[in-house]
Amino acid sequence: MSKAIVVVSFGTTYPETRRKTIEACEQAIQERFPAYPVYRAFTSNVVRRRIKKQEGLDIPTVKEVLDQLLEAGTEEVYIQPLHVILGSEYEKILTQAKEFESAFKKLVVAKPLLNSQEDYEAVKDILLERYGHEGQDAATVLMGHGSQHYAFTAYAALDHMLKGSSVYVGCVESYPPVELIEQELKKDGVREVHLAPFMLVAGDHATNDMSSDEEGSWYRFFKEQGYEVKAHLVGLGEYPEVQQLYIQHLEEIIE
């Protein structure tokens, strides 16, 4: 019986972080499941079009990969999203996969990074280990993407679980906003701010909205508030322990 794994992410137009994050996750998954061929798909059509124009690469959608696998006679397909929350991009995967429910003997979609309470606890521990040791009067502020989807509450929940530590989670497009995080830093006597993305990749948002000196960036915002600021362009997908969480979600649906 032929089986396959499809690893799905939003995608990024930045080749270097794509290699360090998305490709690293795919490789870790392939090593864990050597008997399963691993395929890539992106959910962002804008990213896919830009990559095609800039690099000449055709990155398929979930639907296109499933069409390809069906044609090849694959019988079991396991989809692992590399998304962070159960938001609109995750729902896009479910919608495209639903069309193929009866076409395969088995077609299952695993959960993104943050799903169960255990996931939140595990991610909290990873963040504290990676970012919670910057020293006295210092804090790390992680930039989440945020969402207009009701799943935006995931970011606030994680930030709440980190209360009392030197790690904070804010969002560039929803709640908690950076201004609210800054109020917390002021109360906690923080003088030095380390910025890092709470995103799979260190792509467009991390480069421009977080770490640039442009008007409206978090780097500029904290500088103007009088903090010493350092930016770290490391996507979550670079961390082996984050890759392992995705693998655990895949193990749950395969085994």
233 is in an annotated binding site: no
In angstroms, rounded to a whole number, what is the distance separating the alpha carbons of residues 244 and 255? 16
- Check the annotation: does 104 bind a ligand: no
Could you tell me the CA-to-CA distances from 143 to 100, 103, 110, 206 in Å, in that order? Answer: 35, 40, 25, 8
Helix (H, G, I), strand (E, B) or coil at 130: helix
91 is in an annotated binding site: yes
Coil, strand or helix: which one is 214? coil
Consult the annotation and say whether 70 binds a ligand.
no
145, 149, 160, 249: which one is catalytic? 145
| DSSP per-residue codes, 173-207 | SSSS-HHHHHHHHHHTT--EEEEEE-SSS--HIII
Q: Cβ(109)–Cβ(93) under 8 Å?
A: yes
**85 among annotated binding-site residues:** yes
Residue 90 marked as a ligand binder: yes
Q: Is 216 annotated as a binding residue?
A: no
Alpha-carbon distance values, 188 to 109, 167, 199, 207 (Å)? 41, 11, 25, 27
Q: Tell me: is residue 10 an annotated ligand-binding position.
A: yes
Does 254 carry a binding-site annotation?
Answer: no
Determine the Cα–Cα distance for residues 206 and 228; give it in Å rounded to an integer. Answer: 18
54 touches 168 (CB < 8 A): no
Active site residue 249: no
Q: Annotation-wise, does 232 bind a ligand?
A: no
Distance CA 147, CA 88 (A): 8
Residue 88 among known ligand-binding residues? yes
Q: Is 200 annotated as ligand-binding?
A: yes
* Cα separation, 124 vs 116, whole angstroms: 12
Q: Is 89 annotated as a binding residue?
A: yes
Exposure of 15 in the CB half-sphere (CA atoms within 13 A): 7
Binding residues for substrate: 85-92, 200-201
Residues annotated as part of the active site: 145
